Every structure is written in C-alpha cells, then in structure tokens.
C-alpha cells in the first residue's frame, strides 16, 4: 500500500480512500512555489499525522521556521514509526528510485543482506527532514534505524557491513 499525505487544511486522503483529520502544528513554510508539499511513503499507511502548512515565496522564512521543526507531535510520531518497524530508512527518494548516491548505497547494502525494510522519502517534506535531523542528532541523510534505534548514515552502514556488524545486528533484530 502506498500513501500520500498532503498538507491540506482539513483532511488527508490515502489510497484506501479513508480520511484522517489533520493535526495542527506551529505554522511552517515548506515551499517557495506556493504549491502544497506531499510526503510519500510505502506500506506505512496512516503513520504520519498531517502537518498544517502555509506557503510563502520567502526562502528565509522557510529556513527560519523549519529550524525548530521537532514539535512534540512530530517526535511522538517518529517514535512510533521507528519502533513499529524492524528496519526503516529515511532517505532521499525511494528504495526503487533513490535520488542520492548515499541513499542508493544504503539501499543496495540492505538489499544485499536480503533484509525486509521500509523507506520514507524525506525530500518531499521539509518539516520531516528538519525534524529528523534534530530527532537523531545526525545532520545528514540517509538515516537508518534498526529495532527502534538510530544506527547511522551511509559511512557507518558501509563500515558495519564490511565488518559483519550490520549483518549480526539485523539478524538479532529479525529474531526479536
């Protein structure tokens, strides 16, 4: 199942045609083109509450308002997302179409070890992207979470894969 969450004023629609009420958070500018932003993720229906947004043509406003993006609501949602999946990767693009070399590398490693994993495309949601940096205390993407814990980015994943540590951790996670 694929779900697309839009920054609508009242409701979010999912592929199952259900409606979910939006959750208000502090006003945040997410685009500079006066178009709504959308977060797309695969097989994670009804995971992220909607984030109320306004549009503006001011890049400065967007970066200032998104700086403190980890609202209590977003933190609670991220806690639920990372703990409800054994392996989840917050990345640029999707597992089928990574949009950055680092994200592609981590996806390739996870596919090579034949582990099921979920992905969230952070490019489509500035609030999520900024909030995740604060949530993980990690400034770059991709961000890999295993068994509810932040594991690391691309370099850490590569090193752990080469040493066998990643395979051991993923095996433990799949058994728990």
Q: Is 115 exposed, middle or buried (0-12, 13-18, 19+ CB in 10 A)?
A: middle
**Where are the chain's structural domains?**
2-175
Please check the confidence at residue 1 and state whether its pLDDT lies above 90: no
pLDDT at 39 over 80: no
Burial bucket for residue 122 (CB in 10 Å: 0-12, 13-18, 19+): buried
The CATH class for the domain spanning 2-175 reads alpha beta
Q: 107 in helix, strand or coil?
A: helix
User: Does position 56 have pLDDT exceeding 50, yes or no?
Assistant: no
| Mean of per-residue pLDDT scores for the chain | 73
31-58: b (≥16 Cβ within 10 Å) or e = beeeeebebbbeebeebbbbbbbebbee
Give the pLDDT confidence of 94-150 residue by residue, as tens digits.
999 999 999 999 999 999 999 999 999 999 999 999 999 999 999 999 999 999 999
pLDDT number for residue 17: 34
Report the alpha-carbon distance of residue 56 to residue 58 in Å, rounded. Answer: 5
């Amino acid at each position: 199942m694929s779900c697309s969450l839009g920054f609508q004023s009242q409701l979010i629609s999912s592929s199952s045609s259900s409606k979910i009420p939006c959750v208000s958070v502090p006003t945040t500018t997410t685009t500079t083109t006066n178009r709504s932003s959308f977060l797309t993720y695969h097989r994670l229906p009804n995971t992220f509450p909607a984030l109320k947004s306004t549009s503006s043509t001011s890049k400065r406003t967007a970066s200032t308002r998104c700086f403190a993006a980890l609202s209590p609501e977003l933190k609670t949602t991220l806690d639920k997302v990372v703990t409800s999946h054994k392996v989840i990767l917050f990345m640029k693009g999707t597992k089928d179409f990574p949009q950055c070399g680092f994200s592609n590398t981590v996806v390739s490693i996870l596919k090579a070890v034949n582990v099921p994993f979920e992905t969230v495309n952070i490019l489509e949601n500035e609030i999520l992207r900024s909030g995740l940096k604060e949530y993980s205390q990690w400034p770059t993407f991709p961000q890999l979470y295993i068994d509810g814990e932040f594991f690391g980015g691309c370099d850490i994943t590569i090193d752990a894969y080469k040493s066998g540590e990643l395979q051991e951790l993923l095996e433990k996670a799949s058994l728990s």
